A and B are shown apart, each in its own frame.
Chain A
Amino acid sequence: MFTFMGIDYGQLVQGDRIHASLLHDPDAFAEEMDRIFIRGWVFVGHESEIKLQGDWVTRQLGNESVIMVREDDDSVNVVANRCAHRGTTLCWEHQGNSSFFQCTYHNWRFGLDGAVRAIPFPDGYTNPKEQLGLDRAGQIDSYRGFVFVNLDGSAGPLDEHLGAAGYELIDRLCDLSPTGRIDLSKGWIAHRVQSNWKLWPESDSDGYHVGFVHASMSAATDTYYDEVVVGGDAVSSSRAVDYGNGHLELDFRPSYKSELSWLGVTRDKVQDYYEALATRVGVESAEEMLWQGPPHAFLFPNLFLGELVIAIVEPLGPGEMIHRHTSVQFEGVEKGFNQRLLRQTEAAVGPASFITSDDAITAERIQSGISGTHRSWAKENRGWIDLSRGLHREEVDEMGTRSSDASDETTNRGFWRRYLEVMTRNVSM
Chain B
Amino acid sequence: MIPGDLHAEVEAFLYHEARLADEFQLDEWEALLTDDFHYWVPAGRIVGEPSEQLSYLNDNRTRVATRIRQLKTGKRLSQLPFSPMRRIISNIEVSDLGDDEISTKANFVIYEIAAQSTGELRVWPGHAQYRLRRVDGTLLMSAKWIELVTAEIGQRNLTFLI
Contact = CB atoms under 8 A, between A and B. Distances in A.
Interface of A: 94, 186-187, 189-194, 213, 215-217, 219-221, 322, 324, 326-327, 339, 342-343, 345-347, 350-352, 354, 357-358, 360-362, 364-365, 367-368
Interface-centre pick from B44, B63, B78, B159 (highest chain A CB count, 10 A): B78
Contact of A361 (B54, B116, B154): B116
Contact of A339 (B51, B75, B159, B162): B51
A217 B43 CA distance: 23
B157 A360 contact: yes
A326 B56 CA distance: 11
Contacts of B41: 352
A360 B118 CA distance: 11
Contacts of B116: 361, 364-365
Contact of A192 (B69, B77, B154, B162): B154
Contact of B57 (A191, A192, A352): A352
Contact of B117 (A94, A219, A343, A364): A364
Interface of B: 41, 43-44, 51-58, 63, 66-67, 69-70, 73-78, 114, 116-118, 120, 152-159, 162
B157 A357 contact: yes
A217 B70 contact: yes
A190 B156 CA distance: 9
Contact of B54 (A346, A354, A367): A346
A410 B162 CA distance: 39
Contacts of A343: 58, 63
Contact of B152 (A94, A193, A358): A94
B75 A221 contact: no
A216 B153 contact: no
Contacts of A350: 56
B153 A190 contact: yes
Contact of A368 (B58, B67, B118, B157): B118
Given A192-B154, A347-B63, A351-B157, A186 B53 contact: yes
B78 A361 contact: yes
Given A350-B56, A357-B78, A364 B153 contact: no
27 contacts: A94-B152, A187-B43, A190-B154, A190-B155, A191-B154, A191-B157, A192-B155, A194-B156, A213-B77, A215-B73, A216-B73, A324-B154, A346-B56, A346-B58, A351-B158, A352-B155, A352-B159, A358-B77, A358-B78, A360-B78, A361-B78, A361-B116, A361-B117, A362-B77, A364-B117, A365-B117, A368-B117
A217 B67 CA distance: 9
Contacts of A352: 41, 56-57, 155, 158-159, 162
A403 to B, nearest CB: 29
A365 B77 CA distance: 10
Given A351-B155, A357-B159, 5 more contacts: A216-B75, A358-B77, A358-B78, A364-B114, A365-B117
Contacts of B159: 351-352, 357
B150 to A, nearest CB: 9
A350 B158 CA distance: 9
